[in-house]
Structure 1
Amino acid sequence: MSSATSTAHLPSGLSVLTTFPDVLFIPEFIFGGLVWILVASSKVPLPILQGWVMFVSVFCFVMSTTLLCLYICGAHGGKSSWVTLDAIYQGTAALFYLSAAVLEATSTYFAQALQLIVYRENIAAVVFAFLATLMYVIHQVFSLRRWKSS
């Protein structure tokens, strides 16, 4: 990584994958993808709760992929409006994932209370949802610091 603090502008090219907080896109993909896979493969005791979890995981996965590709291609051109967009997206994703993690934990609790046999995938999904939330919160904090300094 190039430095412990974020720069005042968004990097372009492959330097996106070596600067902090942009390197956090990688664990966000991994944890978000695992939430998506685990919820999709689990039993669904409360479809409305897990439907929101699926929406959040797919939405954040697609949006993060899109942003990362745009940053790597250099579509932002060093404009400060992209720094603002990044800060807004990371904050929204953090809130979405926090709500999804809480709802998945609630759904898992009810699955256990209803004595459904298989709910281990839901437990793993809860853990990975909270880890994804943590990654998005850290990314959002440093995106806000970059936005403030730009």
Structure 2
Amino acid sequence: MAAATQSMESLPRGLMICTTAPDILYLPELVFGGLVWILVASTLVQPENPQGWVMFVSVFCFVMTLLWLIIFACGGHKNHSSWATADFIYHLIAAMFYLSASVSLATVTIKMKNELPKDLFKYYQIDIAAVVFSYIATLLYFIHCILSAFRWKSF
């Protein structure tokens, strides 16, 4: 209860980001976003446009989340309400990006099943794993967005 109360009163810094309600989601976002990035990069990139969007979203969100985590861990936010607003806006954008990437990746994967020869079936399986991890990342960013909105409104 103390960690949840602290997260609503001020922005965490240092190791407190590992104990507060929305900020504990940084690490799972990095893990699942990194898995999407790795899996899509290791598969057959066909067609290029949707797969390129998925790669852009996963790399962009991975890098930005890592930077955001470093800023919060180092205390670079100085506990201003503008950082709470920026946190909410970033996670809203990341959730929307990941949702669009997840839908396009799922569409490509469904079409891939009927078009791939049997010897390339492993790429279909890799894409299925990427779709699952992409939807998990979408859910994590969405939950982080909701919790950041509560923190922003209570600031």
TM-score range, shorter chain: over 0.9
Q: Which aligned runs of 4 or more in structure 1 are off by greater than 6 angstroms?
A: none
Instruction: Give CA deviations for 1:67-100 in whole Å, capped at 9, x if unaligned.
Output: 1000011011111100000000000000000000
Alignment match, 2:3: 3
The letter for the 1-side match of 2:92 is G
RMSD between superposed Cα atoms in Å: 1.3
Q: Number of aligned residue pairs: give it.
A: 150
- Hey, what's the Cα distance between the residues in 1 that align with 2:9 and 2:112? 46
1:130 to 112, 129, 135: 135
Structure that is richer in helix per residue: 2
Q: Which residue of structure 2 aligns with residue 34 of structure 1?
A: 35
Who is 1:144 aligned against? Answer: 149
The aligned counterpart of 2:126 is: 121
Is 1:22 the equivalent of 2:27? no
For 2:128, give the aligned amino acid: I
Measured after TM superposition, the shift of residue 113 of structure 1 is: 2.0
Query: Which TM-score applies when normalising by structure 1?
Result: 0.95
Conserved 8 A contact 1:16-1:72: yes
Between the aligned partners of 2:32 and 2:100, the Cα distance in structure 1 is 15
SS in 1 for 2:77: coil
Unaligned runs of 5+ in 1: none
TM-superposed CA distance for 1:9, in Å, is 2.2
Question: What is the TM-score of this pair, normalised by structure 2?
Answer: 0.92
Identify the residue that residue 99 of structure 1 maps to in structure 2.
100
Overall identity of the aligned pairs, in % = 54
The residue correspondences of 1:49-64 to structure 2 (distance < 5 A) are 49-64=50-65
